[in-house]
């Protein structure tokens, strides 16, 4: 079976509009969570990790009528996918046959909310279909496919907060099974009133910037953005002289079958995902150097996640660096899995441990939560996990590209 290489990266996050900006933000320990200004919200929470609007030229490959209908999440997707393909050095011919797997949760909801509000407020006399064509989640994949000329296999996954981690797993499977030599995995989501009000109503939002693993943590901070990874048959990458940034060693997905929003109290499904991903990678737990946690900052998630890590890593957990990238870029929902996979690749490439920000009093003092920025350590293998509403769990095992590859 072909080894799966990562040869390109792209990211649009609250830390900046590309991968270098994300890498710098991770290294400096910047927190991108600030006041919510995109829309008015009357609830408890006032914070979000907002992303600056991508440059106007982002849609220039598309006809004007298409460009006009793009949602913010489409534009994030275009920016991240374009950066990933460029950084992988893909030619139009390679892109033509490449597969495309996308994870997202709300599509063009922000724009559609406004169309719906105006119609209900009688500011419009009828619905105009052309303004709602960007609503469906599958639109992101269509936009990226048409702008970048990707005409291989294509799918869009929506499993809440694990959506784009599942898309990465699908891309890795396509490369391993030989259905595609190159597959672009992408996650994208934008802040919208619906998700913001929904999480706030569930009292799942922290009124301060989220504090994963802190004794005082009160919930998550919503974010937005997009991230993309070019996955490629490693032999194909070497043959065309592409730089291999990291390897996808294994992945697994499981289901809790427990509750529509709450995780399984024992983390049974999350535990099976981590164990199965390590088994698929052929990596023993003692070989793992870093865990990029789901780390949403909710009471339940973090407790369950620590229990899962403890069950797998045992006493070694005290020496296993763990961090939550959500403390810097917020919870990017459908994009979270891909954003965190890119952060994990940066960690492997640069031997740099991303920090957990806003962590003052760890609830589990025996763990190494990487509380300060800029910590360096040689890393060979890292795991990154994503857990979604409905008990959907995905774990990815990523490895440093070996020298000479």
Among 3, 49, 84, 143, binds another protein (CB under 8 A): 143
Of 86 and 117, nearer to another protein (C-beta) is: 117
Is 154 among the residues that bind another protein (CB under 8 A)?
yes
Near another protein in 198-257, by CB under 8 A:
198-203, 252-257
> Is 161 tagged catalytic?
yes
Q: Which of 88, 142, 317, 381 binds another protein (CB under 8 A)?
A: 142
* CA–CA separation, 214 and 364 (whole Å): 8
Is 41 catalytic? The answer is no
Residue 12 phi, psi dihedral angles, 5° rounding: -130, 110
Residue 136 binds another protein (CB under 8 A): yes
- Using CA atoms, how far residue 315 sits from 312, 318, 334, in Å, is 9, 6, 33
Closest CB to another protein among residues 244, 307: 307
Which residue among the candidates 210, 331, 332, 392 is catalytic per the annotation?
331
Q: Which residue has the tokens 């995109």?
A: 38
Helix (H) or strand (E) holding 246: strand 246-255
Other beta carbons less than 10 A from residue 86's beta carbon: 13
Q: Would you give the end-to-end CA distance of the chain in angstroms? A: 17
Sole binder of another protein in the list 17, 25, 269, 295 (CB under 8 A): 269
In the numeric block, the tokens 């994009």 are attached to 335
Among residues 21, 24, 132, 307, the one that binds another protein under rule CB under 8 A: 132
- Nearest distance in Å: CB 88, another protein: 19
Residues 55 to 74: which contact another protein by CB under 8 A?
62-63, 65-66, 69
Catalytic-role residue among 31, 85, 161, 332: 161
**Quick one: which of 110, 104, 87, 107 has its CA closest to 18?**
87
Query: 191: which DSSP letter?
Result: -
Given the rule CB under 8 A, which of 28-36, 210-218, 259-267, 346-354 is the region that contacts another protein?
259-267
Single residue of 21, 24, 38, 133 touching another protein by CB under 8 A: 133
Tokens matching residue 338: 């891909």
Q: Looking at beta carbons only, is 42 or 404 nearer to another protein?
A: 42
Enumerate residues 171-190 that contact another protein by CB under 8 A: 173-174, 177, 179-180
Name the token pair of 192. Answer: 């919208």
Member of 160, 182, 226, 370 binding another protein (CB under 8 A): 160
User: Which of 8, 17, 152, 362 forms a contact with another protein (CB under 8 A)?
Assistant: 152
Query: What is the DSSP secondary structure assignment for residue 332, as one 8-state letter?
Result: -
**Which residue, 256 or 289, is less far from another protein as judged by CB?**
256
- What is the token pair recorded at 268? 């049974």
Q: Output 171 or 348, the one with its CB closest to another protein.
A: 171
Distance CA 268, CA 190 (A): 30
d(Cα 155, Cα 316) in Å, to the nearest integer? 39
Contact region for another protein (CB under 8 A) — 40-48, 219-227, 303-311, 375-383? Answer: 40-48
Nearest alpha-carbon partner for 232 in 242, 222, 223, 224: 242
In contact, 49 and 14? CB cutoff 8 Å:
yes
Report the catalytic residues. Answer: 161, 294, 331
């Amino acid at each position: 079976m072909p080894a799966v290489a990562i040869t390109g990266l792209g990211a649009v996050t609250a830390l900046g509009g590309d991968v270098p900006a994300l890498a710098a933000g991770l290294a400096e320990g910047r927190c991108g969570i600030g006041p919510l200004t995109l829309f008015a919200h009357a609830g408890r929470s006032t914070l979000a990790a907002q992303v600056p609007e991508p440059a106007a030229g982002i849609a220039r490959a598309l006809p004007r009528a298409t460009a006009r209908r793009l949602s913010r999440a489409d534009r994030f997707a275009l920016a991240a996918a374009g950066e990933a393909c460029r950084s992988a050095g893909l030619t139009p011919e390679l892109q033509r046959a490449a597969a495309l797997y996308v994870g997202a949760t709300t599509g063009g909801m922000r724009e559609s909310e406004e169309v719906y509000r105006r119609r209900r407020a009688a500011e419009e006399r009828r619905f105009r279909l052309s303004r709602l064509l960007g609503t469906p989640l599958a639109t992101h994949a269509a936009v990226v496919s048409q702008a970048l000329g990707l005409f291989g296999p294509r799918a869009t996954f929506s499993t809440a907060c694990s959506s784009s981690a599942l898309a990465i797993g699908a891309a890795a499977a396509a490369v391993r099974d030989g259905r595609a030599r190159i597959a672009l995995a992408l996650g994208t989501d934008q802040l919208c009133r619906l998700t913001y009000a929904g999480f706030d109503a569930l009292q799942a939002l922290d009124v301060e910037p989220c504090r994963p693993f802190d004794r005082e943590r009160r919930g998550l901070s919503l974010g937005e953005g997009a991230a993309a990874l070019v996955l490629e048959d490693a032999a194909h990458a070497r043959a065309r002289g592409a730089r291999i940034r990291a390897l996808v060693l294994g992945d697994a997905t499981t289901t809790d079958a427990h509750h529509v929003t709450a995780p399984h109290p024992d983390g049974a499904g999350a535990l099976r995902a981590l164990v199965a991903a390590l088994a698929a990678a052929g990596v023993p737990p003692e070989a793992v150097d870093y865990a990029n946690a789901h780390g949403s900052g909710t009471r339940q998630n973090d407790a369950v996640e620590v229990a899962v890590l403890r069950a797998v890593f045992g006493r070694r957990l005290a020496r296993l660096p763990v961090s939550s990238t959500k403390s810097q870029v917020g919870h990017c929902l459908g994009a979270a899995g891909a954003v965190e996979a890119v952060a994990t690749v940066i960690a492997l490439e640069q031997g740099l441990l991303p920090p957990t920000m806003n962590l003052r009093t760890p609830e589990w003092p025996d763990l190494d939560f990487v509380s300060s920025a800029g910590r360096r350590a040689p890393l060979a293998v890292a795991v990154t996990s994503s857990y979604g509403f409905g008990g959907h769990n995905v774990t990815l095992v990523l490895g440093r590209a070996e020298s000479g590859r």
